Amino acid sequence: MKVRIEIMGPIKRKHGENPITAELPDGANLQYLMKQLGYNETEAKFLVYVRGEERLRLNSTLCENDEIKAVLQVGGG
């Protein structure tokens, strides 16, 4: 299946394109996608993922033609 992900902020990698279109096996989750893109588990945990208006977790199952946005969580005080 094909999915698209747009990674915003200082944690995006140089993949030559953004958003990135990735080919994944059926039933793949977000963590699998991030690993394929070169992000380790710790890096992936610091991102917030959104599909439409739905916030996703790393164990969320992806579907054909999903469009995901990922942004770095920021905190401050």
CATH number of the structural domain spanning residue 38: 3.10.20.30
Inside any domain, residue 52: yes
Question: pLDDT at position 4, please?
Answer: 97
- Whether 77 is covered by a domain: the verdict is no
- 11: domain range? 2-72
Strand partners, 43: none
pLDDT for position 15:
65
Q: Are 44 and 31 in contact (CB under 8 A)?
A: yes
Q: What is the pTM of this model?
A: 0.88
Q: Residue 20: CB partners within 8 Å, gap ≥ 6?
A: 4, 5, 6, 7, 37
Assess if residue 8 is contained within a domain.
yes
Structural domain includes residue 27: yes
Residue by residue, pLDDT tens for the chain (77 residues) are 999 999 987 777 766 678 999 999 999 999 999 999 999 999 899 999 999 999 999 999 999 999 999 998 877 66
Per the structure, the count of domains in the chain is 1
Domain membership of residue 59 (yes or no) is yes
User: Which pLDDT score, from 0 to 100, does residue 18 have?
Assistant: 85
